[in-house]
């Protein structure tokens, strides 16, 4: 009888393979073999090409557009359960649909809740994710959620810049809590931007609350989609006398024309993690890997150790 099966195995969806490979390298294990067969009509089939019976199975897949990435993850979870895995853990560096976390107007869906229900219905036993757009999304799940923070890679990078007269800023009031955590940890002032939207992805006007004159400003956000808000905030900071403006965001959604906006803006640097693959040409963009953060979390979850010691700030 073969008793050589490892206690856990890691598999990857199509678009997050780069992340899974980095995680496996850090853990010193091989990426599991899986096949995704596509049919002519766009349907696809997921199959594991090795036994997972009795194993902890970690499935690495961000659920960014298109929705095929979410569907892949759901099928992977279902296949894992049906193959008698001991437990199935979804590792979701970027949790999509998170901006739809409440009814902000009549007759709209709460997509974040729907996605959490889909993952639970598919049979997931645990979720590991990072920098949710809204912390309360953890409560949408009826399984444990390990919510990681990119601050553990961003803060050492900020400190390595050795900037004087630094201030932390947020491009909108909704991100004030996150930005305030950075400001308190780094012991620097906090500046807010107040924006009013004409409609989704369109900023009508914006004002700065706080002093940025002769300061090196770092804008903090959780994601950048079309880059309209972050670039408008950066240009506004410079108009108010800022010496330099950098921005950091956990998730590089970067829908067109985001790259052009960043390149043409007053930002001197735009810093992301690699939770979403970003392959466009942008001379101002710096990508920091969070693979080690997820690898260490998998190691701790598997050995039943606390993960809270990884947090610099929340």
Q: How far apart are CA 90 and CA 233, in angstroms?
A: 35
φ/ψ (deg, to 5) at 146: -95, 110
Q: Could you tell me the two tokens for 54?
A: 């009795």
The residue ranges of DSSP E strands in the chain, in sequence order, are 8-12, 34-38, 44-48, 56-60, 87-92, 126-130, 145-148, 166-170, 190-199, 202-209, 216-224, 244-252, 269-273, 285-288
Whether 280 is a known active-site residue: answer no
Q: How far apart are CA 131 and CA 223, in angstroms?
A: 9
28 C-beta neighbours (distance < 10 Å), count = 7
Nearest alpha-carbon partner for 302 in 23, 17, 46: 23
Q: How far apart are CA 102 and CA 35, in angstroms?
A: 36
Report the relative pairing of strands 34-38 and 44-48 from DSSP bridges: antiparallel
Contact 158, 183 (CB under 8 A): no
Nearest alpha-carbon partner for 84 in 121, 122, 124, 53: 53
Q: Of the listed 113, 177, 195, 280, which one is catalytic? A: 195
Beta bridge partners of 286: 271
Contact 188, 215 (CB under 8 A): no
Contact 89, 42 (CB under 8 A): no
Q: Which residues are catalytic?
A: 195
């Amino acid at each position: 009888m073969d008793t050589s099966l490892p206690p856990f195995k890691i598999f990857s969806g199509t678009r997050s393979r780069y992340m899974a490979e980095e995680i496996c390298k850090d853990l010193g294990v091989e990426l599991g073999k899986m096949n995704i067969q596509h049919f002519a009509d766009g349907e696809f089939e997921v199959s594991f090409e090795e036994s997972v019976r009795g194993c902890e199975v970690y499935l690495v897949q961000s659920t960014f557009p298109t929705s095929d990435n979410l569907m892949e993850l759901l099928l992977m979870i279902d296949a894992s359960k049906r193959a008698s895995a001991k437990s199935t853990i979804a590792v979701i560096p970027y949790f999509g649909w998170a901006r739809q976390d409440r009814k902000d107007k009549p007759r709209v869906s709460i997509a974040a809740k729907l996605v959490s229900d889909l993952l639970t219905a598919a049979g997931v036993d645990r979720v590991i994710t990072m920098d949710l757009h809204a912390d309360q999304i953890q409560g949408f799940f009826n399984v444990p959620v390990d919510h990681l923070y990119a601050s553990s890679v961003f803060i050492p990078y900020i400190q390595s810049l050795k900037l004087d007269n630094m201030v932390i800023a947020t491009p909108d009031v909704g991100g004030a809590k996150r930005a305030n955590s950075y400001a308190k940890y780094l012991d620097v002032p906090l500046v807010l931007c107040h924006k009013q939207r004409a409609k989704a992805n369109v900023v009508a006007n914006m004002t700065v609350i706080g002093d940025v004159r002769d300061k090196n400003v770092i804008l903090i956000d959780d994601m950048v989609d079309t880059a309209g808000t972050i670039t408008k905030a950066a240009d506004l900071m410079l108009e108010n006398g800022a010496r330099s403006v950098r921005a950091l965001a956990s998730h590089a959604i970067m829908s067109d024309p985001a790259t052009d906006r960043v390149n043409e803006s007053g930002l001197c640097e735009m810093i992301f993690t690699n939770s979403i693959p970003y392959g466009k040409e942008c001379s101002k963009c710096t990508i920091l890997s969070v693979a080690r953060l997820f690898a260490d979390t998998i190691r701790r979850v598997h050995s039943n150790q606390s993960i809270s010691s990884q947090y610099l700030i929340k």
